[in-house]
A and B are shown apart, each in its own frame.
Chain A
Amino acid sequence: MTSKWMKTLAFQLKDYGDDFRAAASRIREVEVVDIDSSPDVVVSDDNEETFGGKPVLLVGSSPKMQNIPSGKIFPAFPGRFSPQAMAIRESVDTGNLGKPALLRMHVWGTVSDPVNESAKIGAVDLALWLVGEEADAVFLSGNSNAECVHLGFASGAMAMLDFTSALPEGDGYHSLNLIGSRGAAYADDHRNRNLLFDGGSPAATAPAFQGAYIQPMLEDFVRAVTEGRSSNKACEEYRKAEKIIRSARP
């Protein structure tokens, strides 16, 4: 039985398609269909396609300016829907942490799974989203192996993000701390690791929750479409983060 909330959704993704389908299968209001069967909404990583004006959740690539006025191209913000970011945002919203003072993020990838521009834009967006302000000072520094993005805000808050893709083959590393005027939150892969003894020094291994952002992100997208929200605000927010990554040079 379908409801007025029910949406048919199709994926057109080069990567992580199985994870997205698995996440969508858990959402009662969504029925996954083939891309050729005129779905209500689309999730894609292709920023050239407009999918006949259907609402699109654009994953991992920048919305094209000419497509934005339709209000139907929703840039994805995976970072906002990670379990750690949602928990921190909730704590900010309830006032437990007080006024954001300092946001610190370490985002490290490997040579074969690097921190690409989309990931950097997502990290900067997450910082702006959690601090809740536009940056009034930007300084970017780096070398061939590492980058720092340093942001200042009119309220006196500040953010420091660093990126590298120099890790050897294996896991990446992610750390997100938010210090507020009343308290702090620490979400750090370093804390969330267990020991595996298989000879020599033990390996530090993490429980898998990297894909946990997908379901709430899809739910939010479907909800936005159902409620008739325009994507213009989301696009504007994406542009702000993109501008910082692309234009901030010392």
Chain B
Amino acid sequence: MKTTDRIKTPFRTGILSVVKHDYMAKGVASNPRFQLVCVADDNDRPDWTHQRNQLFADEFEIPYLQDVSEAFNKYDLDAVVVSTEAERHCDLAVRAAEAGLHLFVDKPLSTRIEECDRLTDAIDANGVSCLVWNRNYLPALIQAREVEESGKLGKISAIHCDFYFSKDAGPPLGSRKPGDPPIDWMERQLEAHVDGSDGGVGNKPMGELQVEGIYPLAYIRLLTGGARVKRVFARTATHFHQAHADNGVDDIATVTLEMENGIVASLCIGRICAAAHPDLGEIKLHIVGDEGSMVISESRPEVGFYYRDQPPNEFKHQRIAEENGYLLAENFARSIDGDEDLTLDAHAARDICATVLAALESSKTGKVVGVQNKEK
């Protein structure tokens, strides 16, 4: 366990919208290196946006401004947390970078590679740090990284990730009656906010690969020493949820990844419905080295609970000792200090976005697709 450098003045941090989950903002708030000072968003956002932002501001007893520029000018910020709809991440982050602020941006970085490039250019031009939300500091991932760094596995030749969230996403596929209108994506995401399954919030529908793919792809990148994906072959389909079918996006996908250094990798990902697993889902990493190999369950450590009248949708195994949000904030602070590399910076997240887009193209064409990584 690392000691937090509490002697240093906390970074004054603004929350640029908190319309999705509030895990990022709360992760930052839990770390003494940061002080939340305001919430801000653009004035022209819909009412539900302002309501959620105001709610969070009230909880932390900080002001909510419907003017991002005013927040930059008035509150002497050092950093911002950007947790808007996915299609707005980069725009707000670019504006903050141009104001010289360090960035902690929600996933996925964007739905468009041009937006990712605009952000990485702004980061480079303004010399700021930009961490993208990920799960690399879950206890099992820390363990996997320690084993990999110990050299016990030798040279990594293959890595496979199974990443299934056993959550529902509205009515099951096939439940729409003749004459019923298709499910509106945004309306569905707003409903989903209650149970936290609104990872795809935004006007543009996103499939499971696009919403969650960054997590396993960041694991693969972490455990292969930053190796990048060169080519992909992918299949996607909609098997479970009416909302995904109505909006033409996947809820399950398989991707073969051909990577730098001759590494072969694969990803199976899906939102496979709540009935398909007793917990959050089957999430595993299989790592093959030339001296050793490893199978990691992402959920461990956990505690099992079984009791009379247990709600059917309650996870029976609860994760424990999970400090991912706090540790990401610590990594962010140390990066701003210049003492530590980010576990997932915007450049890496940009290349992951390119991998996801290549996979989606492959699934449409049935062909192998090269990944448009950005030159280092």
Contacts and interface: CB of A to CB of B under 8 A. Distances in A.
Contacts of A182: 273, 275
The binding surface of chain B is classed by DSSP as strand
B237 A156 contact: yes
Given A104-B162, A146-B158, A160-B254, A190 B235 contact: no
- Interface range, B side: 35 or more
B258 A141 contact: yes
A137 B162 contact: no
A25 to B, nearest CB: 36
B157 A158 contact: no
A101 B275 contact: no
Nearest to A165: B288
Contact of B295 (A104, A158, A173): A173
Given A101-B237, A139-B256, A173-B293, 11 more contacts: A102-B252, A102-B254, A143-B157, A145-B158, A145-B288, A152-B366, A158-B254, A160-B254, A162-B160, A166-B288, A175-B295
Interface in B246-267: 252, 254, 256, 258, 262-264, 266
Contacts, number: 121
Shortest 3 CB-CB contacts between residues of A and residues of B: A146-B158, A156-B237, A145-B157
A173 B282 CA distance: 17
Interface in A144-168: 144-148, 150, 152, 156-160, 162, 164, 166-168
Nearest to B277: A184
A166 B154 CA distance: 11
A90 to B, nearest CB: 18
A156 B158 contact: no
A179 B160 contact: no
B272 A184 contact: yes
Given A158-B237, A179-B164, A148 B263 contact: no
A129 to B, nearest CB: 19
A114 interface: no
Contacts of B145: none
Max count, chain A CB within 10 A of own CB: residue among B237, B239, B264: B239
